[in-house]
Amino acid sequence: GQQVMQIPQYQHVQEGEDFTTYCNSSTTLSNIQWYKQRPGGHPVFLIQLVKSGEVKKQKRLTFQFGEAKKNSSLHITATQTTDVGTYFCAPSGSARQLTFGSGTQLTVLP
Amino acid sequence: DGGITQSPKYLFRKEGQNVTLSCEQNLNHDAMYWYRQDPGQGLRLIYYSQIVNDFQKGDIAEGYSVSREKKESFPLTVTSAQKNPTAFYLCASSPLTGGGHGDTQYFGPGTRLTVL
């Protein structure tokens, strides 16, 4: 499957601060999905990006797919305690299975 | 109430014993997947199946076996050959939409297996 590097591995922010996680690949990706896993829970689908340079927003979350389709990012504006969890990027492979990045674990301090 | 169920939530086994984890879905999804997650790490694909009676190895299939006799069910057996079986096991399913892109995966609550 497609290999991706996700950074940072951990991020602690004060509530109200912004947060960004990055997903980088050495090869061109056909598409990429983002998932969120709350502590003790299971991954939940957030969004899929397909087009070069695509930007999608969900309330305070902004997802971007790079022009070269080799990187993607998730930005959260004004974090809240409900944003706590691990965020994974996951590009899909030729057989349509996903390869999950190592994740960014977000802690929001009240 | 549609979804994916995995049972039990916690499972303890002695070293050297085989153990089977259940995964059932009533979403009418064609594809099903098994992942392993170790503390602080991402998900690694063990096996996946896109059709009944057919399945493919993922990145870490050694020491595991699966079956897909029914569309709704995809049990995973952790055999005694798996050297480090203690982990969080997640089952997922997805529709095969035919759009040429990766399909959204829906995850079950997971089973935490501890081998003593």
Condensed to tens digits (0 to 9), the pLDDT of residues B11-59 reads 999 988 999 999 999 999 999 999 999 987 889 999 999 999 999 999 9
**pLDDT-based confidence at residue B69 (cuts at 50, 70, 90):** very high
Q: What is the pLDDT of residue A86?
A: 97
CB < 8 Å to A103, chain B: 41-42
Lowest mean pLDDT among A41-45, B17-21, B30-34, B80-84: B80-84
Q: Is the pLDDT of residue A42 over 90?
A: yes
The pLDDT of B52-80, averaged and rounded, is: 96
Q: What confidence tier does B116 reach under pLDDT thresholds 50, 70, 90?
A: confident
Q: Is the pLDDT of residue A95 over 80?
A: no
Choice between B101 and A67, residue whose per-residue pLDDT is larger: A67
Average the pLDDT over A34-42 and give the result. Answer: 96
- Chain B residues with beta carbon closer than 8 angstroms to that of A23: none
How far is A108 from A98, CA to CA, in rounded Å?
A: 28
User: Are the beta carbons of B102 and A95 separated by less than 8 Å?
Assistant: no
Chain A interface includes B38 (CB < 8 A): no
B91 pLDDT band, cuts 50/70/90, is very high
Taking an 8 Å cut-off on Cβ atoms, the answer to whether B31 and A96 are in contact is yes
Contacts of A42 in chain B (CB under 8 A): 90, 107-110
Q: State the pLDDT at residue B96.
A: 80
> In angstroms, what CA-CA distances link A36 with A67, A104, B49, B74, B80?
24, 10, 24, 24, 32
- With a pLDDT cut of 70, the percent of chain B lying above it is 94
B105–A96 C-beta distance less than 8 A: no
Q: Which residues contact A108 (CB under 8 A, 6 or more apart)?
A: A12, A13, A14, A15, A79, A80, A81, A83, A84
Across the interface, whether the CB atoms of A103 and B42 are under 8 A apart is answered yes
Q: Is A72 a residue whose pLDDT tops 60?
A: yes
The answer, for B109 touching chain A at a CB cutoff of 8 Å, is: yes
Backbone phi, psi, residue B49, to 5°: -140, 135
Answer whether B101 sits within 8 Å of A92, measured CB to CB.
yes
Query: What gap in Å lies between CA A18 and CA B89, rounded to an integer?
Result: 32
Q: Is the pLDDT of residue A5 over 90?
A: yes
Which of A98, A104, A107 should one mutate to test binding to chain B, selecting the residue with the greatest count of B CBs within 10 A? A98
Over pLDDT 90: what percentage of chain A? 85
Of B105, B106, B110, the CB nearest to A98: B105
Res B2: pLDDT: 64
Please give the pLDDT value at position B39. Answer: 85
- As to burial, measured by CB atoms within 10 angstroms (0-12 exposed, 13-18 middle, 19+ buried), residue A84 is middle
Instruction: Pick B105's closest partner by Cβ from A1, A31, A45.
Output: A45
Interface mutation target, options B94, B105, B111, chain A, most CBs of A under 10 Å: B105
For residue A68, the model assigns a pLDDT of 95
Please say if the pLDDT value at position A94 is more than 70.
no
